[in-house]
Amino acid sequence: MERLQHWRRPDGNRLTVPIEEEIRQVLVREKSKGHRLKVCIGTDSQVKGASTEFATVIVFLRLGKGGFMYVLPEVTRRKMSVKERMLVEVGKSVGIAYSLSRLFTLYDVDLEVHADINTNPGFKSNAALSEAMGYIRGMGFAFRAKPHAFASSSCANKMVQ
């Protein structure tokens, strides 16, 4: 059973059906139009005072024909180190990917999980790179980190700024 989540479109409109049903409808519609799809899931966060805002996105790419996405915003008041925050982001992305993976497999859609973690050791987020990569790959998903992790570092990033 899905916990209460308030998924929305980037325009702010909330979904009126559970995310699993929305995704199933999208996959049926897009496949019937002949679009080849790829899905990228990522999460970004922003510390704002005593709160941390998270945004998880499901990005649909119509190969060669644009794309669209869904957003799940969340806020916590728990203090976290940078490494812990990066791993919480990855956990949120993996959780969504796992809950929807059956649908993506059923409709033959490639799935990537994007981590907003820098591959350059000079950045603080790099401390979480090996754990994040192991977790994502260990769950059976394709892994992308910066600079190739656009779902988290661009799409989700715009939703928390």
Considering the domain boundaries, does residue 2 fall inside one? no
Of 28-32, 49-53, 121-125, the poorest mean pLDDT is in 121-125
Closest CA to 90 of 151, 154, 36: 151
Q: What is the mean pLDDT of residues 103-126?
A: 93
* pLDDT tens readout for residues 90-105: 999 999 999 999 999 9
> Could you give the angle at the alpha carbon of 159 between the alpha carbons of 154 and 161, nearest 5°?
90
Per-residue pLDDT at 3: 44
Per-residue pLDDT at 2: 42
Distance of alpha carbon 87 from alpha carbon 151, whole angstroms: 16
Distance of alpha carbon 11 from alpha carbon 32, whole angstroms: 25
Count Cβ atoms below 10 Å from residue 1 Cβ, excluding itself: 3
Q: What is the DSSP letter of 1?
A: -
In total, how many domains does the chain have?
A: 1
Structural domain span for residue 49: 19-160
Considering the domain boundaries, does residue 3 fall inside one? no
Considering the domain boundaries, does residue 5 fall inside one? no
Considering the domain boundaries, does residue 47 fall inside one? yes
Distance of alpha carbon 107 from alpha carbon 71, whole angstroms: 21
Considering the domain boundaries, does residue 142 fall inside one? yes
Considering the domain boundaries, does residue 40 fall inside one? yes
Report pTM: 0.92
